[in-house]
Amino acid sequence: MKKLFLFTTLVLGTCFGTLVSAQVSVSFNIGVQPVWGPTGYDEAEYYYIPDAGAYYDINRRVFVYQQGGRWVNGAELPGQYRNIDLYHTHKVVINERTPWMHNDRYRGQYAQYRGRHDQMAIRDSHEERYFQNPGHPQHNAWMQQHGNGGGDHHDNGNHGGDYHGNGGGDHHENGNHGGEDHGHGGDDHRDGGQR
């Protein structure tokens, strides 16, 4: 009887430990969301951008939009939408794989958000949880507080992806970039202007 009690306790303890572990290991991706993304989401896979009729794949850091009747990926929004201010235009978080395959539904469901500029961007948030994002103006202070070094980083840009700093030195960014930003615009562009 004692052995059965110990075995049952061991099995239940293992099951309970697995459940607790599963609850604790919930994935958050605040640190990889672009700084122009909306606040309020610990986990986001895609943004739907009603003003452009396009999607942004957060993990791959690419925009997905229609071109010539097909869905294509690009580091930036297509030409006619490149002047959209991603920090202020409304974004809808969608956590469903390949949401563009249901574009008619999303376009209809979120049409009322076209032209709205009512969301706070991660860059502008004063909540400490967003400081872990490398593009946030408070990121270096957050890194120093958590023992990870410093340097100054000022991000005023309109990035399609994220800034990937190396923790040291100063970085001042003013550009409107589509893909990953490694401190330069690529293709002989210089930071400081809208693209």
Tokens of 47: 């943004």
Residue 123 pLDDT level (bands cut at 50, 70, 90): very high
For all residues of the chain together, what is the average pLDDT? 73
Predicted confidence (pLDDT) per residue in 136-159, tens digit = 998 898 888 887 554 444 443 444
CB atoms near residue 25 (< 10 Å): 7
Name the amino acid, one letter, at 13: G
Pairing of strands 170-173, 70-74: unpaired
Lowest mean pLDDT among 14-18, 20-24, 64-68, 99-103: 20-24
DSSP strand E in 110-175: where? 152-155, 158-159, 170-173
- Each domain of the chain, given as residue ranges in start order, spans 30-113, 122-177
Lowest mean pLDDT among 26-30, 76-80, 85-89, 115-119: 26-30
Cα(17)–Cα(4) distance, integer angstroms = 20
CB atoms near residue 99 (< 10 Å): 19
Residue 77 has pLDDT above 80, yes or no: yes
Residue 79 has pLDDT above 70, yes or no: yes
